[in-house]
Amino acid sequence: MCTRNEQLTIEVAGVPLDSPVLLAPMAGITDLPFRRVVQRFGAGLVVSEMVASQEMVQAKPGVREKAELGLNVEGTAVQLAGREARWMAEAARMVEGMGARVIDINMGCPAKTVTNGLSGSALMRTPDHALRLIEAVVGAVTVPVTLKTRLGWDDATQNAPEIARRAEAAGVRMVTIHGRTRCQFYKGAANWAAIRAVRAAVRIPVIANGDIVDAATARRALTQSGAAGVMVGRGAQGRPWALAQIAAALAGRGRPAAPAGRALADLVGGHFEDTLAFYGAALGSKVIRKHLGWYMDAAGTPPALRREVLTSGDPARTLSLLGLALDGVAEAA
């Protein structure tokens, strides 16, 4: 745990990260507009949505764009998923050519649409095959390669320490462990203590993930896991400033105030406009809706006004309503 006189630091391939608090990759959430908002407050690393390697190489509509924009920004990683070494290697070369600073390999997604295709956390069931994918990606690029995975497929096969050890030997420079098995999905509580076995198996930085939403949970996760840092996922929904607050608390600097009132309305309005500019008005209005809901939930917007914001079909009116919904609302706890 970090005390007032001790600053946690993480180095990936010899490069120090600005903060020990990282943003998790979340499908449909950590797109470029959202990552921009989080980075504005501060984060050690932000990770893109999972990008399907074969679909990206073959330029399937909507896939390539996820990885193509924003990856030359310092402190950004692109996460690749796949089940074949050749596609993973080719996609890695492609995103490195686009300016990616870090490439992350997905071995943690529990979704059936992913695991049924033998990708994501399904790779934990075939560690030899998983290592071939890792070796292919590491051998294809010069930028650091990291790995995100879970404790194992189920309680009987918690093989994360062995996979992490072999991944390190293959050239992976950091590993993030979600403290659940695949079969748990997101049920129950994350087992941060189980991550300690991974920490003992490798010399590279280990990051703890799962159920970390504030400074208190971050401290407990660090203490129980022995990890070098934490990765925040759902705790950042509607609270993109949460990572900076956690980092400040871990460093003993106190908790920066969350934006409220006009500052919050301006932040959310900017996120709204950036999303519409990125996707176009029609698609952007759909993509941003969940974010607007999370912002208003965190701010305590009255239900009727919340519903009016989310059902408005006119961007100008949505912006006007957001001012009413968020300006003057008390800061979320």
Are 141 and 268 found together in one domain?
no
Report H helices in the chain.
32-41, 53-57, 64-68, 85-97, 112-115, 127-140, 160-170, 196-201, 215-225, 242-250, 261-279, 281-287, 289-299, 303-311, 315-326
pLDDT value of residue 185: 82
- Looking at 250, 279, 311, which one is the last position of a domain? 250
- Residue written as token pair 């391939």: 13
- Looking at 250, 274, 292, which one is the last position of a domain? 250
Are 221 and 303 found together in one domain?
no
pLDDT value of residue 69: 59
Are 245 and 276 found together in one domain?
no
Are 273 and 232 found together in one domain?
no
β-strand partners of 78? 103
CB 308 within 8 A of CB 321: yes
Number of domains making up the chain = 2
pLDDT value of residue 72: 65
- How crowded is residue 215: how many other Cβ atoms within 10 Å of its Cβ? 19
Residue 113, in any domain of the structure: yes
Residue 331, in any domain of the structure: no
pLDDT value of residue 60: 66
CATH number at residue 177: 3.20.20.70
- Distance separating alpha carbons of residues 242 and 270, to the nearest angstrom: 18
Residue 203, in any domain of the structure: yes
pLDDT value of residue 333: 32
Are 176 and 202 found together in one domain?
yes
CB 103 within 8 A of CB 144: yes
Identify the DSSP state of 218. Answer: H
Are 267 and 246 found together in one domain?
no
Are 239 and 275 found together in one domain?
no
Active site residues: 109
Are 227 and 288 found together in one domain?
no
Are 28 and 166 found together in one domain?
yes
Structural domain of 58: 11-250
Alpha-carbon torsion, ordered 107, 158, 212, 275, to 10 deg: 20
- pLDDT 10s digit of each residue in the chain, 333 long? 343 334 566 888 777 888 899 999 998 899 999 999 999 999 999 998 888 888 888 876 665 555 555 666 678 899 999 999 999 999 999 989 888 889 999 998 888 888 877 788 889 999 999 999 999 999 999 999 999 999 998 888 899 999 999 999 999 999 999 999 998 888 889 999 999 999 999 999 999 999 999 999 999 999 999 999 999 999 999 999 999 999 999 998 877 888 988 999 999 999 999 999 988 999 999 999 999 999 999 899 999 999 999 999 899 999 999 989 997 444 433
pLDDT value of residue 139: 97
Are 185 and 314 found together in one domain?
no
pLDDT value of residue 87: 95
- Looking at 250, 271, 294, which one is the last position of a domain? 250
Are 53 and 183 found together in one domain?
yes
Residue 316, in any domain of the structure: yes
Are 83 and 206 found together in one domain?
yes
pLDDT value of residue 263: 92
Residue 2, in any domain of the structure: no
Residue 201, in any domain of the structure: yes
